[in-house]
Amino acid sequence: MSLTSMLFLLVFLGLGWLSMSKDPVYGIGCYILLYFFAGQWWWQSLPNLPYSKIAIFFTLVGMVSNWNKYKAKAFDYPPTKWIFALGVLSLLIIPFAIDSYHHNFYASILWKNILVFWILIKVVENFEKLNKILYFFICGAFYLSFTAFQQGRNSGGRLEGIGVADGQDSNLCAAALVVAVPIVLSLMYRAKGKEKLFLSAAFVFILNALILYNSRGAFLALVLAAIVLGINFFRKIFSRKGERVKLTLAAGFAVCAFFYLADQTFWDRMRTLEDTSTEGSGYRMLIWQSALDVLADYPFGTGADGFTLISHSYIPPEMVSSTGTRAMHNTYLQALTEYGVIGFLVFLSMIGSVFIYTARARKFLIGEAEKFLPVLFGLEAAFAAHLFAAIFINRLYSEVLYWLPALIAVAGGLTVLGLNGKDENISCH
């Protein structure tokens, strides 16, 4: 066992002990770290244990021992009912699934994501704990980015083989990592001293990792995140001269860092976004067009991973991989083909309700707690970025897709909006 593996076990057990004895926020923070650690080279030398499930167990033990303390009502948060509806639909569709084994496997992942979503809303009960969770996320993303820096590109001008728990592919990993950028920037806004130095270093390494992964979808998602974050930050509430100067300097730092790190290999790949041939990015359009044909044959959906299994019957033979399959490469059409029209509408309703909630939360925070607005803005931009990246990859079962709505609930003051009263913890630093 390597020194890194032993150090990990010490951190894992330490956070587990803190979760059960002090606060379950450390257990869920440990779970988030595991998401970024699971694909590392030293992971194989660890004892073969279900570490993520153990981390959830640590968290639940800590929750049960102080159950009356957690008063946030998850179903007061509009997206919750849509997320649970998608979970229920995954059970109802079992008789229609093309492959019950594949469907049950992914349905179990979906329900695990729903459980973590619920735990986050219950455990991260105030802004102080939200800050801790965000730092767990950034630390994990920073570590992954540092290992990416050490490895460098290793496959056709891209970095492969260093990923996250639910995706080793460069596109999948980049889609998870891109959400860290607006979160880091939002925390930097009010950070000082060593905290700001750490966040600046994390930002540079995360940005560098995204360039090494060379994902076109993640690049476009990063641009969208910058636009959403910029529009939010330059609203009237940040229009004072001192605030404008600070924002301009931060934006200048981010832009300069990006253009300094982006090399010719990166820009050469981004230019292929213009390629609409079947050998280039245009092949996705042909796959997407087949979604309606699949829906006509399977109106109740194919079940999880169904399209992949039958793709050879709906797309040209030359587009099928060596395994005889091809993924949809679009999360929204993935939801449509796997869960039918009902599942598609449920999924879109979940997304829409998150943004409706952020609009409502923004109005509340402007009047009650303006200092918490940057975090809400960062999470909203992160969610928008992940959703955009999901246009080009299958991310219906992505953990980040369900973490972000839960964290947005806390950032928007769920306990305030849900209980119609002031959050006792709203004055935390």
Q: Does 111 share its domain with 173?
A: yes
427 falls within a domain: no
Residues paired with residue 284 on neighbouring β-strands, in sequence order: none
400 falls within a domain: yes
What DSSP string describes 282-329? THHHHHHHHHHHHHHH-TT---TTHHHHHGGGTS-GGGS-TTS-----
pLDDT for res 236: 57
Contact (CB, 8 A) for 395 and 246: no
Q: Does 63 share its domain with 76?
A: no
Q: Does 123 share its domain with 148?
A: yes
Distance CA 177, CA 39 (A): 14
Q: Does 64 share its domain with 161?
A: no
384 falls within a domain: yes
What pLDDT band is residue 241 in, cutting at 50, 70 and 90? low
Residue type, 112: K
Residue 159: helix, strand or coil by DSSP? coil
- Which residues neighbour 197 within 8 Å (Cβ) at sequence distance 6 or greater? none
Helix H, strand E, coil C: the string for 97-158 is CCCHHHHHHHHHHHHHHHHHHHHHHHHCCCHHHHHHHHHHHHHHHHHHHHHHHHHCCCECCE
Q: Does 107 share its domain with 46?
A: no
**Which tokens is 130 given?**
């939200």
Contact (CB, 8 A) for 28 and 18: no
271 falls within a domain: yes
343 falls within a domain: yes
Q: Which residue has the higher pLDDT, 135 or 273?
A: 135
Q: Which of 38, 69, 100 is the last residue of a domain?
A: 69
Q: Which of 48, 69, 90 is the last residue of a domain?
A: 69
Contact (CB, 8 A) for 157 and 212: no
Q: pLDDT digit string (tens) for 351-403?
A: 999 999 998 888 777 655 577 788 999 999 999 999 999 999 999 999 999 99
pLDDT for res 72: 80
pLDDT at 428 over 50: no
Q: Which of 9, 35, 69 is the last residue of a domain?
A: 69
- Which residues neighbour 119 within 8 Å (Cβ) at sequence distance 6 or greater? 24, 28, 56, 59, 60, 63
- Which residues neighbour 322 within 8 Å (Cβ) at sequence distance 6 or greater? none
Q: Does 85 share its domain with 60?
A: no
Of residues 262, 182, 253, 259, the one with CA closest to residue 214: 262
Distance CA 407, CA 50 (A): 25
Q: Token pair 């079940």 is at which residue?
A: 303
347 falls within a domain: yes
91 falls within a domain: yes
386 falls within a domain: yes
Domain coverage including residue 35: 1-69
Residue 215: helix, strand or coil by DSSP? coil
Q: Does 89 share its domain with 139?
A: yes
Q: pLDDT digit string (tens) for 149-185?
A: 998 888 888 888 888 998 888 999 999 999 999 999 9
pLDDT at 281 over 60: no
**Phi-psi group of 413: left, alpha or beta (phi > 0 → left; psi -120 to 50 → alpha; rest → beta):** left
The predicted model scores a pTM of 0.91
What is the tally of structural domains in the chain? 2
